Amino acid sequence: MNKTDELASTHLGKKSEGSDNYNPSLLVAIPRCENRKQYNIDENCLPFEGFDVWHAYEFSALTQNGIPVTRLLKLKYSCSSKFLVESKSLKLYLNSFNMTRFGSSVKECLEKCKEIIEKDLSEKLQTKVTANFIENNAERVEIFKNFNNIMNYVDETNLKVEKFKEAPEILKTEDTHNIQSCYLMFDSLRSNCRVTHQPDFGDLYLYYKSKKHISEDSLVKYLSSFRSEFHFHEECCEMIYKRLYDLLVAGDELFVCALYTRRGGIDICPARWSKNCVVEDVFNLADISKFARGSLKQ
C-alpha cells in the first residue's frame, strides 16, 4: 500500500464512530503529488488553474440553547494546494458539529461554524479554504446551458466501447485549419473510490478552443474507459485534463469540470482550466464563484 492509500484508509473501509463533539483531529489530508507524477504533471508548474468545490448537504449544529441549525455547506479551495481532503474524514469532521453548541442565535451559530471550518481546513490543507452556507431558497443560475450532450454528435448504433481502464490512445484529433469552440457534456462518467472501490457517478463538462478537433466518438470511448479506474474525483478530472492538454497545441483554451453526484451527503466538483482560458467568458458569468453543483449561486 502506497502512502496515499495508507492515508486514505484512515477512515475509509472501516467502522468509524466519529464524534458527538467538535473534533478537528478527524480530518485527513491527502497529497496530490503522487497521482500527478503518473501523468507528468509538474507540481511546481501546473498546466492548469482551477479549484475543488465540495457541497455538504447535511451540515448541522446547535445554538447554545440547543436549537438545531441545518444548512447546505459549500467549500472551495485551489487546485494548487499540495493536499486535498479525504472525503470520509471530512464527513466525520462535519458530523462532529452535529451535537456541538455554537452561538446564541442561528446567525451567530453559522458565523462561528464558518470561522472554525475555514480555519481548520486551511490549516490542514495548507491553503486558503472558503466556506459558505447556502439558504434553501438560493437563486439558481444555469451556467452550463451552452454545453451540449456529446451523444448528440455520435452514431451510437455504430459506436463500440471496449476498454474500461483509462486508455488515452483512444483519443483522436484532426486539423480543421479554423479555430473552433466546442462545448460538450458527458452525463455517464463513472469512476471508483481508490480505497473502498465504491462507484462514483457524475457529469463531465468540456470546453476547448482550437484548430484541432477532438473526435466525439473517441471522447465517448475515452471517458467511458474510466468505469474501472480507481481514483479520487480530483485525480480523474486532472487526468482527463492532462490527456486532452497533451493533444492540443500551445495557446489553445481548455476547461474540464467533473460534477460528481453526492455520496454520503457530500459531492465533489473539481474544475481545471488552461491559464489563458477566461472562465467567466466560457460561462458568460460576471463571477466564477457562482459555479456550483446544480448551479447553486453562492
Calpha distance 100→105 (Å, rounded): 14
Is residue 200 among the annotated active site residues? yes
Calpha distance 117→120 (Å, rounded): 5
Question: 3-134 and 148-287: same fold?
Answer: yes
The residue with cell 486532452 is 244
Q: For residue 84, which of 222, 194, 244, 208 has the smallest C-alpha distance?
A: 194
Annotated active-site residue in 52, 120, 200, 267:
200
pLDDT of residue 111: 97
Is residue 193 among the annotated active site residues? yes
**For residues 83 and 31, is the Cβ–Cβ distance under 8 A?**
yes
Topology at the third CATH level for domain 148-287: GTP Cyclohydrolase I, domain 2 (3.30.1130)
pLDDT of residue 270: 93
**For residues 39 and 238, is the Cβ–Cβ distance under 8 A?**
yes
pLDDT of residue 295: 45
DSSP-derived 3-state class of residue 103? coil
Annotated active-site residue in 79, 109, 113, 193:
193
Q: What pLDDT tens digit does each residue of the chain (298 aa) get?
A: 555 555 555 545 555 556 778 999 999 999 999 899 989 999 899 999 999 999 998 898 999 999 988 888 999 999 999 999 999 899 999 999 998 999 999 899 999 999 999 999 999 999 999 999 986 544 445 678 889 999 999 988 888 888 899 999 999 999 998 999 999 999 889 898 887 788 888 899 999 999 999 999 999 999 999 988 999 999 999 999 999 999 999 899 999 999 988 888 888 989 999 999 888 777 766 555 555 544 443 4
Give the 3-state secondary structure percentages of the chain, helix then strand then coil, rounded to 5: 30, 30, 40
Domain ranges of the chain: 3-134, 148-287
**For residues 90 and 54, is the Cβ–Cβ distance under 8 A?**
yes
DSSP-derived 3-state class of residue 34? helix
Topology at the third CATH level for domain 3-134: GTP Cyclohydrolase I, domain 2 (3.30.1130)
**Would you say how long the chain is, in residues?**
298
pLDDT of residue 136: 52
State the greatest distance between any 2 C-alpha atoms of the chain, in Å, as a whole number. Answer: 67
pLDDT of residue 186: 92
How far apart, in Å, do the first and last CA atoms of the chain sit? 39
Q: Rg of the Cα trace of the chain?
A: 20
Calpha distance 150→143 (Å, rounded): 17
